[in-house]
Amino acid sequence: MSGQGANLRSWLRFVISALKESTLGLLITDPLRASHLKEGDIIACVSPQAADVYRRLCNRYGGRNLTSKVRVIPHAVETNFHDSGGTRLRQIVSVGRWSDIVQKRQHRMMEVFNRLLLSDRDVSLVIAGESTNALRDWHDSLGTSEKSRVKLAGRLYRSALAKLMAESQVFYSPSAYESFGIAAAEALCSGCSVVAHRSVSMASFEWFVSEKSGTLAADDTAASHLHALKEELHAWEIGRRDPQKISHTWSQRLHANHVANHVLEICEKEFQVR
């Protein structure tokens, strides 16, 4: 999940993880997990892809009855993340705990943004989240033209982050893995489209781009990430992205009030049947 194949150490980490899953996982961990899940009335998963994984697990160890308990209940997004109806800047926003170099991968973001700034003279970038020495050094090293189009915003209040997303076109996640991707969900509710890479470790993002709301890089390389960002910016340029539609679609699914109503509906149906 953290870049297997990049070097010998990452390959060893991948092999050890795979061996654990195919031995201890099948013999001990999975049966215990299934036994725990059998105690619940409802098994909540944050995305359709996550639900598919758990349905396979439940079917293996509990059959149709256990599998039928699986439901998609996504993480909730605050309602202040919405489309403001204002003009969208040709702007990309990234949000992260950049000190977490294994998951959030500031090095991948800097490499991709270096190439993008040189190939697109009109795009601007905003990087939110507490900056690191590496990010500041990278920003200082940029040429005058490139530096003027990059803002290290630091940590933002929620209202400021919502405003930033409502004025941007694209949200970019360079992460190696995400359990859900709450910042991306907030961006979608704000009318931004999403770019990340295609990976089993970024499963929610297949859902996030499914409504003409983003692009996934075909593989996890800087060149592929760059291509996906360019494709997404081009989609905005030629009118293939509609911020109002993106915001409406995902707000109906992810805003806290809608998620709460969805939970109540599931519970009412489940307990009425029982």
Tens of pLDDT along 212-248? 999 999 999 999 999 999 999 999 999 999 999 999 9
> Residues 142, 116: contact at Cβ < 8 Å?
no
Task: Locate the domains of the chain by residue range.
Answer: 8-72, 91-252
Grade residue 271 by pLDDT with cuts at 50, 70 and 90: confident
pLDDT at 1 over 50: no
**Homologous superfamily in CATH for domain 91-252:** Glycogen Phosphorylase B; (3.40.50.2000)
Query: What's the confidence (pLDDT) of residue 91?
Result: 98
Grade residue 133 by pLDDT with cuts at 50, 70 and 90: very high
Read off φ and ψ for residue 87, nearest 5 degrees: -70, 140
Query: What's the confidence (pLDDT) of residue 66?
Result: 94
Query: What's the confidence (pLDDT) of residue 272?
Result: 77
Whether the predicted model's global pTM rises above the 0.85 cut: yes
**CA trace torsion 57, 52, 268, 252 (10° rounding):** 160
pLDDT digits (tens, 9 = 90+) for 11-41: 777 777 777 766 766 777 888 888 999 999 9
